[in-house]
Chains A and B, each alone.
Chain A
Amino acid sequence: MTATVDLTHAPADEEFRAEARAWLAAHVPRTPLPSLETAEGFAAHRAWEAELAADRWSVVSWPEEYGGRGAGLLRWLVFEEEYWAAGAPGRVGQNGISLLAPTLFDHGTEEQRARVLPPMASAEVVWAQAWSEPEAGSDLASLTSRAVRTDGGWLLSGLKTWSSRAAFADRAFGLFRSDPGAPKPHQGLTYLMFDLRAPGVTVRPIGRLDGKPAFAELFLDEVFVPDEDVIGEPGQGWRIAMSTTGNERGLTLRSPGRFLASAARLLELWQARGRPGHARARVVDALIGARAYQLFTYAAAGRFLEGAALGPESSMNKVFWSEYDLALHETALDLLGEEGESADTDWAEGYVFSLAGPIYAGTNEIQRDIVAERLLGLPKGRR
């Protein structure tokens, strides 16, 4: 019996790593950018994205024609390890890159990809998501915002909420009810892209827990969307939106590199504070958890590259990283002692962001239902 498992990267991937590391060392801003949830910070992060894109580092896994490097999943993981280890800024284009782009690759037209992806890669256009509504959160399929057929396109009306990045973003994507007569809630939905500055759109920023406008309500009143901005067939929106939730997106929403870097910073903080015993076990958990998440992701990437659908296992992934991220930041704030309540530290910014993790992208309660029903085979029941 010989072990054919191998945790070393191919030489070409290591060269790629070295190239990324050198570029990041020369370009990453020496002082942290202002919070991306502020107007000033958003602009600074957008400029950073343009700098990344100019040298083709913003979307390494995309084909070259759209601004990427055609790097495979493993190389993307390598890039992410280097990116976060270098202390590089958060990604203001994340919503578009990890949620909309995979949908366009699978279900968009060639024309849509050519038009939408390059400005997404450079953050010339930053995307917000428009899924939730006041009465449709975890039960997303009960959404009531309408898309009504009109000449050459659709008229969108209704209220979307918790729209991340929408306070400062340019465009949004989401699901709308195009056939109110469809027999089931998840039928008759259409996946559309629209301009946040189009006539009929009112954006009302919402302050998150620390008051920063990290998301917004979108009031839509007969907003015209041309046919070219419908993704896939009208009425098939639910299937299209869900088809990418479990696949690559489950792997790419939060990369292991991010948490490896956070764990290393937490360890530094713990040492700088004199290695207090009260946090010892939690620092150990953070170190091990980052490694576990990295290895879990490598295994999932391996299955994906060999043709397996990842599906419901990405729900385990989401529960793990969101709780991990929160626990890590809680530990950091405890280590800061009384300074832990200061809102102007990177740790505080990360903490407030991590508080939302168990809620967005499908609450952890919904993810646990998916794990229980689809991985363990437990019967469906009332939620």
Chain B
Amino acid sequence: MRFLLDTEQHAFADSLHAMLTAADTPAVVRDWSRGDHAGGRALWRRVAEAGVFGLVVPEEYGGLGPHPVELAVAFVELGRHAVPGPLVETVAAAVLLGEGGPAKRFLPGLAAGELIATVATPTGYALDGDAAALHLAPTPEGLHLSPGPGPVRPSLDPARRLTPLAPGGELLTPDPSSAHALTWARLATAAQALGVGLALLDRTVAHVRQRTQFGVPIGSFQAVKHRLADAKIALEFARPLLFGAAMSLRPADVAAAKLKACEAAYATARTALQLHGAIGYTAEYDLSLWLTKARALRTAWGTPEECGDAVLEAAC
């Protein structure tokens, strides 16, 4: 029994954090939101070089994986820095492609960051289809290589560009590992959401320490403190669910982590908005990049109700 990350895992998180801090992700996110993907693609390659996508790709296809705990560590950092793009979808794609021909064809590119993938969800939309080169569409017949994306439908998170995928295309495999892909996608989403929540908490703590009203920092008021304490508690109790789920990879554990990490991130977003006041309600202030993502992730790859069903199904 040892339920603590080791020094190597902490060092991995620290190195990603340092790299992403230096990358000025807010500017990259804003370009991405306008459909300018140049900065995002450059960042994507650096994320890949750090080994992130390799964590889900087996060694024989050019990766290091599977390493779900390290993947969770990495996605917390990606969320903290609001890194744009179909990150979770690329993880899901790697699992969907499984083994054999399609894996051999695409996984090395995914691991290396040369290929950005997206996957259509049951809603029919795929995230950032306009930026991805590999468009996967699960259908009742199997996994199709879609001919390409349709027009962008805006998301509440401007950095998430939802695109329908054109029907038809090559049938890559009749029996993709859909359930397993969903588990990995939910794990990555949970980690990303936790990172989003942690970033919102950090930024809000910094704000209330320096924002002065009535002659004192607003962070000295108990009404403010208690909201932030609750956000901290919710995030810190989601964290062990995330890493416990990464270790077991049981669908119910992952669903629980997804539900609670997204709930904690969203609650933190509401607190962050309230405590920033009007400035937090503006698109131009960078807080908005995390605020909107917290809402979007809540329903991505499984609503709270769907995740709850997975928990109950395993418990009953």
Contact = CB atoms under 8 A, between A and B. Distances in A.
A271 B236 CA distance: 30
Given A5-B247, A287-B311, A302-B4, A371 B233 contact: yes
Interface string A337-376: 0000000000000000000000000000101110111011
A6 interface: yes
A280 B308 contact: yes
Chain B interface size range: 35 or more
B2 A376 contact: no
A383 B222 contact: yes
Main secondary structure of the interface of B (DSSP, over half): helix
A292 interface: yes
Contacts of A288: 241, 256, 259-260, 311
A251 B269 CA distance: 29
B106 interface: no
B3 A378 contact: no
A26 interface: no
A298 interface: yes
Nearest to A369: B225
Interface string B277-316: 0000000000000000000000000001100100110011
Nearest to B201: A376
Interface stretch (A8-16, A88-96, A188-196): A8-16
A284 B304 CA distance: 10
B206 to A, nearest CB: 10
Interface in B49-77: 55, 64, 67, 69-70
A151 to B, nearest CB: 47
B141 interface: no
B1 interface: yes
Given A368-B225, A381-B221, A295 B2 contact: no
B9 interface: yes
B244 interface: yes
Interface string A295-310: 1101100110010000
Given A7-B1, A267-B315, A376 B229 contact: yes
Contact of B209 (A292, A293, A377): A377
A269 to B, nearest CB: 13
B69 A316 contact: no
Contacts of A316: 229, 232-233, 236-237
Interface string B195-233: 000000100010011000000110111101110111011
B1 A281 contact: no
Contacts of A13: 1
A306 B3 CA distance: 12
B221 A368 contact: no
B1 A380 contact: no
B5 interface: yes
B248 interface: yes
Nearest to A298: B3
A377 B205 contact: yes
B49 to A, nearest CB: 15
A1 B2 contact: no
Contacts of B208: 378
A373 B2 CA distance: 29
Nearest to A284: B308
A228 B224 CA distance: 46
24 contacts: A1-B8, A1-B67, A5-B4, A6-B1, A7-B247, A8-B1, A280-B308, A284-B308, A284-B311, A288-B256, A293-B237, A296-B239, A298-B240, A299-B4, A365-B226, A368-B225, A371-B229, A372-B232, A373-B225, A375-B229, A376-B201, A377-B205, A379-B219, A381-B221
Interface of A: 1, 3-10, 13, 74, 267, 271, 280-281, 283-284, 287-289, 291-293, 295-296, 298-299, 302-303, 306, 313, 316, 319-320, 365, 367-369, 371-373, 375-383
Interface of B: 1-6, 8-9, 12, 55, 64, 67, 69-70, 201, 205, 208-209, 216-217, 219-222, 224-226, 228-230, 232-233, 236-241, 243-244, 247-248, 253, 256, 259-260, 304-305, 308, 311-312, 315-316
